[in-house]
Structure 1
Amino acid sequence: MASEVTAAAYSSGVPEISRDELLRRLRDSSLTIVDVLPQASYVEAHIPGAINIPLEQIQTHAREQLPDFAAEIAVYCGKFT
């Protein structure tokens, strides 16, 4: 399944997934969703199925918490609105 990539993705060098594409793929097991907000924010509200790895813990905890490094990984840092 091809992802929708925005023009902003090319300026940063990192592909971006649109909100609509993410909504379509919420149950797609080949996509891992990572919430990088602090744990308190994650507990308050998060995308269903998202894994919480606060930004300051990415380097130390990503390898142990991400189930499949070969999977596509969508990272978000704001509330899903």
Structure 2
Amino acid sequence: MASQVTAANSSDAGEISRDEIVRRLHDASLTIVDVLPQASYVEAHIPRAINLPLEQIPDHAREILPDLNADIAVYCGKFT
């Protein structure tokens, strides 16, 4: 049986700006997650980003994400 991941309430989740992500690209305390399909990830993604397509989050987040208590930035578009 797969472990389930519960999404944070929108009031619990903050926003992170593009500038903040750029500033923290080499910060190991930030996990960057690309939720687009793998083909889009392969085409272009933020350096260090982990690919975890949206539909796979409930079944695979616990095994793919290194630390669910870390700062996690999730994005669904190309880094421009």
Partner of 1:49: 48
Consecutive unaligned residues of structure 2, counting only runs of 5 or more, are 1-9
Q: Report how far residue 70 of structure 1 moved.
A: 1.7
Higher helix fraction (1 or 2): 1
Q: Structure 1: which 5+ runs fail to align? A: 1-11
TM-score by structure 2 length? 0.84
Superposition TM-score, scaled by structure 1 size: 0.83
Give the number of aligned pairs: 70
Question: 1:69, CA displacement in angstroms?
Answer: 1.3
CA RMSD of aligned residues (A): 0.8
Structure 1 segments (4+ residues) deviating >6 Å: none
Secondary structure of the residue aligned to 1:34 is strand
- The structure whose RCO (Cα within 8 Å, separation 6+) is larger is 2
